[in-house]
Structure 1
């Protein structure tokens, strides 16, 4: 992790601990020695820094290509290990970048819904998560963000057990793989409602 990433992680940790009483559950479910596709529900623009703070390893994310048009933002995004994706298009370069990150043993943070949920409820997952799960050597770690980012409201982030898609049929479609990932995230959300 470089200085910019570590500084951002430290500052956001202080912020989330102070204003949202951050609680992290299941951090030990994140493997330390292999590629990880970290798939989370998406409720706010604060989700990427929260996932980064809660994960012991450096997490890389895709971000919409428009954010890279400003030179200062481009420098910051690159310093944080973020890479651009052209939304609404079949961006083959972004897909290759994601696969390379995972096959290099790094962590790729991913929001299968593709956009923030306006209701806070888990939406439908897009095929991209399943594509990365099936085309890479990484395991999938489901993640659930529970609570509110409003000041002094509690935020809980829960990491589930890793899922290895190598154990599934080679004929599985990306859509079906995403459905399994979404079931895992949904299960974490339901469990949190019962126990918190």
Structure 2
């Protein structure tokens, strides 16, 4: 068993009963090929929650500051995270993300770029649209719904992959593609909240 699977098992055994996690739509998750997993962002616990509920290992972009803490850097690197500089165009992070998708892995991304303080979905950043347009990866919307209060149910809803073909064919801008993805995340939030 690799470290990712081991860590997933440990974290799952703690968080699942604590937050009474309900997973909806995991069967829609593509079984193979590159997947761009796009979720709303309401808590620092969102990455581990996606990590234990998604059917496949996830590679996350994580804020660069986390990689400055030696022990944490080793841990999150082992769990497939890679750094991104926030507030600027980080070419290295974009290249790494494209490579993850081209190799047929899952890239987990929070299009809002930072946590939403009020739980409402904010405008997404163009980076997610860039990945969606520049690769043939399946784009899977995800909604995390709940308060992260102990023993109060938390829902993780995986939507069907979004058909990005029309946007790729009309050479849409990354901003347009991001807005389209955000509509799908909002639709899941509205449907399951």
Could you tell me the TM-score, scaled by structure 1's length?
0.94
- Which position in structure 2 is the counterpart of 1:157? 156
Could you tell me the TM-score, scaled by structure 2's length?
0.95
Partner SS state of residue 191, structure 1: helix
1:171 aligns with 2:174: no
Q: Distance in 2 between matches of 1:104 and 1:163?
A: 20
Q: Distance in 1 between matches of 2:58 and 2:133?
A: 20
Cα offsets for 1:44-76 (capped at 9, x unmatched): 000000001111100010111121122222211
Q: CA deviation at 1:166?
A: 2.9
Q: Distance in 1 between matches of 2:7 and 2:79?
A: 9
Q: Distance in 1 between matches of 2:71 and 2:14?
A: 23
> Do the aligned partners of 1:23 and 1:157 also contact (CA within 8 Å) in 2?
yes
Q: Distance in 2 between matches of 1:36 and 1:148?
A: 27
Q: Which runs of 5+ in 1 are unaligned?
A: none
1:22 aligns with 2:6: no
> Do the aligned partners of 1:27 and 1:56 also contact (CA within 8 Å) in 2?
yes
Partner SS state of residue 130, structure 1: helix
Q: Distance in 2 between matches of 1:92 and 1:3?
A: 30
Q: Distance in 1 between matches of 2:52 and 2:136?
A: 24
Q: CA deviation at 1:110?
A: 0.5
Q: CA deviation at 1:170?
A: 3.6
Cα offsets for 1:95-130 (capped at 9, x unmatched): 000000011100000000000000011111111110
Q: CA deviation at 1:19?
A: 1.0
Map residues 107-126 of structure 1 onto 2, 5 A cutoff: 107-126=106-125
Cα offsets for 1:119-175 (capped at 9, x unmatched): 011111111110110011201000000112111111000000101323433420000
After the TM superposition, which segments of 4 or more aligned residues of structure 1 sit over 2 Å from their partners? Answer: 166-170
Q: Distance in 2 between matches of 1:25 and 1:178?
A: 23
Q: CA deviation at 1:16?
A: 2.3
> Do the aligned partners of 1:138 and 1:164 also contact (CA within 8 Å) in 2?
no
1:72 aligns with 2:103: no
- Which position in structure 2 is the counterpart of 1:41? 40
